[in-house]
Amino acid sequence: MFNLFGTLFGLACVVISIMTSGDIMDFIDGPSVFVVVGGLAGATLASFSKDSIKELFKAIKVGMRKQVIDYNGTIDNIISIANVARRDGLLALEGLTDKMDDPFLKKAIMLVVDGSDPELIESILETDLDLTKERHASIRGMLEAQGGYSPAFGMIGTLIGLINMLKNLSDMSSLGANMAVALVTTFYGSMLANLVFMPMSRHLKAMGDEEYLQKELMIEGVLSIQNGENPRIIREKLNSFLAKQNVRPEDDKHSDRGAEPAGKR
């Protein structure tokens, strides 16, 4: 799940720190919230298209869910497909595609069934993966931009407060209170940037890296299947691929013979 726990934990620490040395109500100011949130919303709308903002909300929704990438399950599925190809030929794989949940793997298998050249298959799949990376990078760029806008509008709110305060220097008794209110907007902007937008961007990057590794496993496995390699050799190759990425594969406790593709079990 998206680092919601971390965000709430960080917020709780800030609130506890405030309450141990002051009054939490001193940090609640409606106009300051309006400046930071309103300015952030306006800057986002001015910077990005409506479609991009929709994609951002979709990505945040995905990030809120717990993602578990089963690399070993992916390898098992590829080995099952390799067994069918070795036993019945590459054309027999077409019957498996209807039960494949992953569109990327399904596309890769269909390219093999169509008899495309290995170089062409690799080029198509790598291009598809690159486009996914670019789309994800664009979404993270929006979050990072919002992480920059938040403190900026916090500072703008502080400047507004300081200007209003300096216009009323005749009342020295209210100087400290007015200064405190002026600084609250900077506090809000910094909190949004460091507890929401930047952590969210980092979290989506980590999720994306896991997805890319899974797709790279699929590319390597499908090309090996087309090349007619032994399923056990393919498993060893994919396990080595995971090891190079600092992901430890599980011990192979299953025989590669007689395994059935996912969806037929």
67-112 per-position pLDDT tens digit: 788 899 999 999 999 999 999 999 999 888 888 889 999 999 999 9
Say what angle helices 118-166 and 103-113 make with each other, to 10 degrees.
160
Nearest residue to 65 (alpha-carbon basis) of 197, 190, 204, 183? 204
Whether the per-residue pLDDT at 257 is higher than 50: the answer is no
In the chain, where the domains are located? 1-10+32-265
CA atoms of 52 and 235, how far apart (whole Å):
39
Instruction: Between 24 and 67, name the one with better pLDDT.
Output: 24
CB atoms within 10 A of CB 170: 6
Q: CA–CA separation, 236 vs 223, rounded Å?
A: 14
45 Cβ neighbours under 8 A, 6+ residues apart: 53
- Mean pLDDT for 118-145 is 95
pLDDT of residue 216: 94
Amino acid 163: pLDDT: 86
> Cβ neighbours of residue 148 under 8 Å, at least 6 residues apart?
193
Averaged pLDDT, 222-235 = 93
Residue-level pLDDT at 251: 52
Amino acid at 16: I
For 127-134, what is the mean pLDDT?
95
Tens digit of each residue's pLDDT (9 = 90 or more) over 156-207: 999 988 888 887 777 777 677 777 778 899 999 999 999 999 999 999 999 9
DSSP 177-238: HHHHHHHHHHHHHHHHIIIIIHHHHHHHHHHHHHHHHHHHHHHHHHHHHHTT--HHHHHHHH
pLDDT of residue 140: 94
Output the CA angle 52-54-56, nearest 5 degrees. 70
* pLDDT the model gives residue 118: 92
Residue 236 structure tokens: 């060893």
Tokens representing residue 74 in the block: 């992916």
Q: At CB < 8 A and 24+ separation, what contacts does 8-13 make?
A: 10/195, 11/191, 11/195
Give residue 174's pLDDT: 66
